Structure 1
Amino acid sequence: IDAESQLLPDVGAIVTCKVCSINSRFAKVHILYIGSTPLKSAFRGTIRREDIRATEKDKVEVYKSFRPGDIVLAKVISLGDMQSNYLLSTAENELGVVVAHSEAGAQMVPISWCEMQCPRTHAKELRKVARVQPEFLQT
């Protein structure tokens, strides 16, 4: 058995995931990497509204933090089982959206912890932006 395919997200692990869908209570994601190791098959995860950021949790709105297609750095806070998803949190400054594409299709540039801007149209979109440590960046 090769060890890579046996790799499972563990509590406390930093994972890279892609947002699949959002609603008013949570974002559904597919976990693509654990640390810097790519996974052979994606695991499903959920980022609940109250786990998006550390402060003013009651004011958080999912659609102002993530959009489908965003690549997000998150931390595993609880393990899933066959029926449920891994619970993930982005409630640290280093966690959140690392790659997002604007409606024009361009990769957006973070301009603050809560906004990204399209370099093509200069439109700003709200996101929970990660303050990225270079070692976590997957290209």
Structure 2
Amino acid sequence: MEIESVKCECCGLKEDCTQDYITQVKNKFDGKWLCGLCSEAVTDEVLLLIKSTSNYKITATPSPAPAPPPLAIGEAVKAHMSFCRKFKSNPATRVADAMLQMLRRRRSAAAATAVTAAATTSSIDSHVGLDHHHH
């Protein structure tokens, strides 16, 4: 299976995916690659567009709902892309992203330290416990 690095056309997130999956996502979203989070946002936007049009009703029948009109998907993708551009151009967002990355690095470093400390503590406890049984 061929793995390819692909970049979200909305937020810029890079992911490694199979060519088949990339093709599926692009087919679903008007030829554009979207990461998981952006694809969820666009799907929600499509549902809102559909609900706002009176001639398209979703019924609660067990049969699958009809596919959303391609126009609605295209509009939702465009709307989400412009939303992402607004946030990427905001300096406060870039600072917040940098802070988030720093906190993630610290958290993963702290988690690694905590695991080491826990292993050391349990090994000390077992040694102390053994000593108590001998007395």
| TM-score, scaled relative to structure 2 | 0.21
Structure that is richer in helix per residue: 2
Structure that is richer in strand per residue: 1
Structure ID, larger Rg: 2
